[in-house]
Amino acid sequence: MAANKTARVAFVLKRWYQVGRTEALCASRCHIGGRPEAALSTRAEWEAVVGLEIHAQVHSASKLFSSAAVTFLAPPNSCVALFDAALPGTMPVLNRRCVEAVVLTGLALGCRINRRSYFDRKHYFYADMPAGYQITQQRVPVAERGVLRVPGEWHGRERNLGITCVQLEQDSGKSLHDAAEGLTLVDLNRAGVGLMEVVTEPELTSGAEAAAAVQELQLILRTLGTCQGIMAEGHLRVDANVSIRKPGQPLGVRTEVKNLNSLRWLSRAVDFEIRRQIGLLETGGQIVNETRSFDVKLGFMPEPNLPSLVLMGDDERPMNQRQNRQGLVSVSALRALLPELPASRRSRLIRNHDLRPDLVTTLVKEDGLMEYFEEVIEVGKQDPKIVINWVMNDLLGVLNECGLSVSQSPIKPRVLAELINLQIDGIISSSVAKKVFTMMWKDNEVRSPVKIVAESGWSIICDPVQLEAACIDVIAKHPKQVELVRSGHAKVLNKFVGQVQKLLDGRGDPAQVKRILENKLLPQTGDGHCS
């Protein structure tokens, strides 16, 4: 009996593998890793139309309809409740955290929140879908008709992308195909994990636009805390619907490129599919609808084990005792919890600090960088444009080089503010400030900037006699450059300033050094000023 059972399981798994292999062969028609066809045209008479379906994993300790834990890289099938495995008689229990997450996300995207929404069953057979259906929201989702504000690098200005809906659904498990053995191994740890599906309007026209939109949504989700957004860990996956048409014509036949898990591959996949379709039509071919979605009339039915999802509206109280016991999710309470969103942050930083939009975009995009920047300004009461140069060029540069996040920086905001103040007050030069920064980084900020400067004797030299002696020494060693300056090449003077600073270990007062060199090298006018 045991041998017969093993043989039956092996047969089923082998069949599952064969089905998966057939799907992989079909998907290879849209292969995005290879070289695009050389002859594909990108002529202006074609117009690409792209819409996205973005699946974001809800940041929750447990799954959507069970208490099983959500843990990345847990041992296979170690986070599976009876309901996740579709054992007969088990019933779904809705996770309140997932409901709150999808409402918050909908509010952040300016969506209309439906007080009553419904769950449906989407029927299809995959090895990693034990019940033979996925619980989703096909008829009435939680949120509809929103807007994603994508920053300026898209078209040089901020652009609004329509959001069709934000709905709640459960994830499937994971199938691992072993080609050598002809088997498929199934891990149900992911089965039943809560997903938010964000569907955009078909308003994108390229891979770069698609990547910019997903990156902005990723930033919003992280700001809300509703999704961690780590694409490498499967928190965010994208299906791209791509079609082409002649301008002014109806939408063309679309194809769907599924399960893209990086911004780079999303951009490349969309552009490749656009070129593939153009090339196919220009050579007399025909676009085939390869989307693996199901017809609404045939593939969906209402979920009988879940009642309609009812939310408490703005300024509304439970209508009866039963609703009060259910502890309805309050839309107005969640609205009050919305943090400052990325688009508002960018606008505020530009308005308050007069910063360039590209710098502001990076400040907001990097986790914790905006807060670091604002704390430096608050502590040091400094010019934002000076602070932004330090944060973007020096701090962010060394963080990226060392592979560290902003929160892991050994130099805290108050210490950087102290260092910048030393430079602004004329106690140290800019070159010495860089040396102090490097020393603090290597020492993990053991000593303060003031202490490092005092112990190293790096205070700026303002003594005119000492500065003039250094200038005379440098002038004497570079006679050819002296002739260039005196013959009208004034820019060479900056090289003299650099040589003097090098001689003085970067401690010379830059203004005095430049003035002394000008007096000695540039022709004098009748009023005693340099010409």
Contact yes or no for 471/517 (Cβ under 8 A): yes
Residue type, 144: E
pLDDT digits (tens, 9 = 90+) for 230-279: 999 999 999 999 999 998 899 899 999 998 999 999 999 999 999 999 99
For residue 523, what pLDDT is reported? 66
The sign one gets for the Cα dihedral 107, 197, 195, 404 is negative
The CA–CA distances, whole Å, from 222 to 97, 225, 281, 364 equal 16, 5, 41, 11
Cα radius of gyration (the chain): 31
What is the predicted pLDDT for the residue at 74? 94
> What predicted TM-score, i.e. pTM, was given to this entire model?
0.79
pLDDT tens for each residue of 304-333: 889 999 998 766 654 444 444 457 899 999
Residue 193 has pLDDT above 80, yes or no: yes
Residue 6 pLDDT > 90:
no
In the chain, the largest separation of any two C-alpha atoms, in whole Å, equals 113
Query: Long-range contacts: 161-165, Cβ < 8 Å, 24+?
Result: 161/200, 161/201, 161/203, 161/204, 161/213, 162/200, 162/201, 162/203, 163/109, 163/110, 163/111, 163/198, 163/199, 163/200, 163/201, 164/199, 164/200, 164/201, 165/111, 165/141, 165/197, 165/198, 165/199
Residue 37 has pLDDT above 60, yes or no: no
- What pLDDT score does 469 carry? 87
Question: What is the side-by-side order of every strand in the sheet holding 300-302?
Answer: 133-136, 120-123, 300-302
Q: What is the mean pLDDT of the chain?
A: 84
Q: Of 328, 416, 331, 326, nearest to 369 (Cα)?
A: 416
- pLDDT surpassing 70 at residue 59: yes
Which range of 3-7, 38-42, 289-293, 326-330 scores highest in mean pLDDT? It is 326-330
Three-state DSSP class for 97?
helix
Between CA 284 and CA 278 the distance in angstroms is 10
pLDDT at site 468: 84
Q: Give the model confidence (pLDDT) of 342-395 as tens digits.
A: 999 999 999 999 999 889 999 999 999 999 999 999 987 788 999 999 999 999
Per-residue pLDDT averaged across 135-155, rounded? Answer: 88
Whether domain 464-521 has CATH 3.90.550: no
Mean pLDDT of 175-196: 88
Alpha-carbon gap, residue 23 to 17, rounded angstroms: 10
Least confident of 72-76, 173-177, 189-193, 212-216: 173-177
| Tokens matching residue 215 | 């990156």
pLDDT of residue 24: 36
Structure tokens at 242: 């791509």
Note the pLDDT of residue 317: 59
pLDDT, mean of residues 97-108: 98
Over the stretch 456-509, which tens digit does the pLDDT of each residue have? 878 877 778 878 888 888 888 888 888 887 877 777 788 888 888 888 777 787
In the DSSP assignment, the letter for residue 454 is H
Domain limits, CATH 1.10.10, in the chain? 464-521
